[in-house]
A and B are shown apart, each in its own frame.
Chain A
Amino acid sequence: MHSVNSILALFYRELKISYRNFSDILSILMFFLLGILIFVFSIGPNTEIFNEIGIGVIWTLILLSNNLSLRKFYQNDFNDGSIILLHMSGLSYELIVLIKIMIIWIFLQLPFFIIIPLAAILLNIELPNVNLILISFLIGSPILTSIASISGSMNLLNQRNFAIGSVIIMILSIPIIIFSVGIINASEEIVRAQLQILIGILFFFLAITPWVSAACIKLAIQNK
């Protein structure tokens, strides 16, 4: 009973903090849309090209905007010591990581479901393909959040080189990009298989992320 209360308290607190910092989320969405626009301007008004590379452009920018959320994970709680407090209230670090992933997914990835169709209109992508993007994003976004969590926790002790966190994200996201972009050009029989591989990656990351991140957090606390 005790820890259920603690989980709810942490959940509520994170919701509140994310809500207070809503401008952060808006600026990430702006980054995404502006990135799409820059692609449109740089390639020129050739609608056929967009139909071919559109989904790749969207996924690349999703990945890049995901990088911006890196610092939101554990840095503040780690710096002010409240992560120790959370642990002392009876929550294991693994559970804290899981709750953080859920909150960040809700606040940073869910808004993309509204903004992706908008981007698809800008890129002149056909409607059936938009559906496919959204399905692949539904499976892919929790993976991206998990990867950001791993990278964020790895970066806790690193006060100088922020870029390395983004590099870790990029490397780990390569398989996601391959399988989620591959859906569009794949023939109909393979689409299902591709999605299943993506779901497999999702379960893999959901399974390892709490332990990897928690181990990194523990190490960071020990070495501070």
Chain B
Amino acid sequence: MLLANNISFYRNNNIIFKDVSLALPPQKIINITGANGIGKTTLLKILTHVLIPKKGNIFWNGKNIKKNLFNYYKDVTFVMDKQTSNINLSVIENIFFWKKLFSSIISKKEIDAILDLLSLDNYRNTPINYLSNGEIKKLELTRLVIEQKKLWMLDEPYIGLDIETINLLNETFINHTKSGGMIIFSSHYVPDIPNIENLQLENYAQR
């Protein structure tokens, strides 16, 4: 369970948001919504301890993540708004790098199935340079399955995806929550998934 208590964040003495609290029990999804520049990405980065909040604490399973950072990271997958695949490596090389980096026990067959499902199997040995934006995003999303972790954090996961992949992603979300996982993501689009809760960041902004 992820708990955030009264998180406030300032940038150059400007308040971005103040006293945001959230609780994310298993089998739940939180969708962070809000206008551009309201701090959705910032909040996600704070929840992964990439940025450090001015005030407030975050707890994972009852432990403050500041003190148990690497234990926390063992349970988190963070899909950023940027591509983290290396442009010099091919699709399959990136996937195998992630697999080894996170000591994943995913099998070759499963990887083949994912690539097939995302229609990336024709680009296996293509360097990332030659992929389109949507395909790079899809490759990024494979990390969710490769890392096999409990808590998924996604920053604008729907950007650049076609309708088929959006449906597939929603299905994956549902399956993940059914098996006890937790998801928190930011998006302007509110998908039709059960157990979803909207966190409107506008309520916490002080202008």
Contact = CB atoms under 8 A, between A and B. Distances in A.
B73 interface: yes
Interface of A: 1-2, 5-6, 8-10, 12-13, 16-17, 20-21, 76, 79-82, 84-90, 221-222
A10 B101 contact: yes
Interface string B27-54: 0000000000000000000001011100
Given A5-B100, A8-B100, A12-B100, A20 B88 contact: yes
Chain A facing B: main interface SS: helix
Contact of A17 (B52, B74, B82, B86): B86
B78 interface: yes
B89 A90 contact: no
29 contacts: A2-B74, A2-B103, A5-B101, A6-B100, A9-B97, A9-B101, A10-B101, A12-B97, A12-B100, A13-B97, A16-B93, A17-B89, A80-B84, A80-B85, A81-B80, A81-B82, A81-B83, A81-B84, A84-B78, A86-B101, A87-B73, A88-B48, A88-B73, A88-B76, A88-B78, A89-B102, A90-B70, A221-B51, A222-B52
A130 to B, nearest CB: 36
Interface of B: 48, 50-52, 70, 73-74, 76, 78, 80, 82-89, 93, 97, 100-103
A216 to B, nearest CB: 16
A73 to B, nearest CB: 15
B80 A84 contact: yes
B103 A6 contact: yes
